[in-house]
């Protein structure tokens, strides 16, 4: 699964990188310890307009009776995303990009678990494949929410965990967002492990396990 990540890009960097036309909800600060149910930046296409918004992490399907389902939908498995009731509408019509600088996963070492930071070797920020939905609560308020798609691990990640988020190559982002791609099979080939040779990982402080901790020290390499 993917349960923690970082986003330290500035608004200007996001606007330039994704050629944003409209900002619905600005992203104003670095987040070194993004956790489920928090609001996270996401990029989507509305007509021909590229928009930046913030979504609650944990997708709430339109048919949900209450938002508690979000705790179980932070991730969508690539292998079953087109069949699961929570995601099968979104994979057709509501795909988004979730920008990130890195993500965390816990590596089992004997009886212990060591948090690892995983990122690109060039340390650029990148896009995770996401889905989103808009849910209306009983009072009529709209909650926009999202999920991160996961896939089988590449060689680097296989030593750490049995899943990894789908990281999209820059040249594939336009296709992922394309509203004309209404059948899951049109984008399924994108839901694959990212090339191992372009990624790296290193241990970080166990302080990242506490969501109340949120500072630059969380992404520094931990040396015993």
* Series of mean pLDDT values for 10-residue runs along the chain (224 residues): 88 93 88 95 93 96 92 96 96 97 94 95 96 92 96 97 97 95 94 98 96 95 85
What does the pLDDT read at residue 1?
Answer: 65
Give the CATH superfamily of 4-219.
SOS response associated peptidase-like (3.90.1680.10)
pTM: 0.96
Residue 223: exposed, middle, or buried by beta-carbon count in 10 A (0-12, 13-18, 19+)? exposed
How confident is the model at residue 35, as a pLDDT? 95
- Name the 3-class secondary structure at 219: helix
Catalytic residue among 96, 105, 133, 173: 105
Please report the pLDDT score of residue 218 as a whole number.
96
Is 96 one of the annotated active-site residues of the chain? no
What pLDDT score was predicted for residue 26? 84
* 79 given a catalytic annotation: no
Tell which residue, 19, 9, 60, 14, has the closest CA to residue 37.
60
Q: Give the active site residue among 2, 96, 146, 173.
A: 2
């Amino acid at each position: 699964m993917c349960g923690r990540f970082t986003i330290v890009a500035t608004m200007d960097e996001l606007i330039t990188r994704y050629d944003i036309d409209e900002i619905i909800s600005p992203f104003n600060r670095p987040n070194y310890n993004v956790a489920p149910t928090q609001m996270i930046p996401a990029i989507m296409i509305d007509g021909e307009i590229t928009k930046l918004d913030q979504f609650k992490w944990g997708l709430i399907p339109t048919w949900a009776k209450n938002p508690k389902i979000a705790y179980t939908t932070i991730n969508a498995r690539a292998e079953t995303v087109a069949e699961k009731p929570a995601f099968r509408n979104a994979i057709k019509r509501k795909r988004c990009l979730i920008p990130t600088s890195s993500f965390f996963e816990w590596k089992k070492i004997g009886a212990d678990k060591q948090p690892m930071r995983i990122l690109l070797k060039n340390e650029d920020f990148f896009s995770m494949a996401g889905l989103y939905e808009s849910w209306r609560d009983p009072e009529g308020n709209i909650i926009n929410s999202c999920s991160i798609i996961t896939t089988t691990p590449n060689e680097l990640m296989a030593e750490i965990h049995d899943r990894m988020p789908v990281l999209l190559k820059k040249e594939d982002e336009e296709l992922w967002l394309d509203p004309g791609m209404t059948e899951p099979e049109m984008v399924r080939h994108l839901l694959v492990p990212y090339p191992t040779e372009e990624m790296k990982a290193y241990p970080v402080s166990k302080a990242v396990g506490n969501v109340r901790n949120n500072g630059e020290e969380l992404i520094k390499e931990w040396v015993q």
